Amino acid sequence: MRLLVSPMNIDEARSAMLGGADILDVKNPKEGSLGANFPWAIKQIADMARGIVPISATIGDLDYKPGTASLAALGAAFSGADYIKAGLLGIRTVEQAEDILSSIVKSVKEFDPKKKVVAAAYSDYKRVGSISPMVIPGVANKVGADLVMVDTAIKDGKSTFEFMSQADLEVFINLAHNFGEEVAIAGTIGFQHLQLLKGLQPDIIGVRGVVCGGDRQDSIKVELVEKLKELLN
């Protein structure tokens, strides 16, 4: 399992790298669960980490606006992100998911076919009226996205494991792997969840709050990234 850590800025990115993060996921928590950061922030971190650690960038908790989403995806790709992550918060149907993700994939892959598109759904989809994560692996396969993810939309201390059972997550992971997609699990993950995650074996585990000392608005701490990385290994 690879450890994805989500820095807000260059200083946090350095801390995540020093702690042993496998992927730096540039985001802006002030704008939501998968809030988009600025192009210059992505570029600065990508320039620093180039050749050392791959860069992911979130493009927001998206409404059904394929044009806006595809332009944001191109901006993240141009700024240096290797993974472009789209949160499907405002997506209600499979048809909408296919439309917006196909636009994002086209935008990214025409710019650089080596870059990867991440389709992110939400484990707490029922309380925010979003699309079920269970349909996302099939949609991703149809439109050519590379990786699927679950996260929590509302950051209120409740984890993904309070909304999706171990069996649910096993089904999600197996569906994606059967399509040849990688899987990331995130959503208020704590040290207490590591044994369960080791049993599930997603490809990537995504964190922020746990390596900030419990408050995702605080800063990333090298020693907590190191601790998490050591326990995962």
pLDDT tens digits along 32-47: 999 999 999 999 999 9
> Is 27 noted as a catalytic residue in this protein?
yes
pTM here is 0.95
Q: Catalytic residue among 30, 43, 65, 85, which?
A: 85
Spell out the domains of the chain, with CATH numbers in brackets.
2-232 (3.20.20.380)
pLDDT in tens, 38-82: 999 999 999 999 999 999 999 999 999 999 999 999 999 999 999
| Contact by Cβ (8 Å): 76, 50 | no
Kindly name the residue from 27, 106, 109, 142 that is annotated as catalytic.
27
Residues 34/206, Cβ–Cβ less than 8 Å: no
pLDDT of res. 214:
80
Model confidence over 87-107: pLDDT tens digits?
A: 999 999 999 999 999 999 999
Kindly report, residue by residue over 124-154, the tens digit of the pLDDT.
999 999 999 999 999 999 999 999 999 999 9
Residue with tokens 């296919």: 98
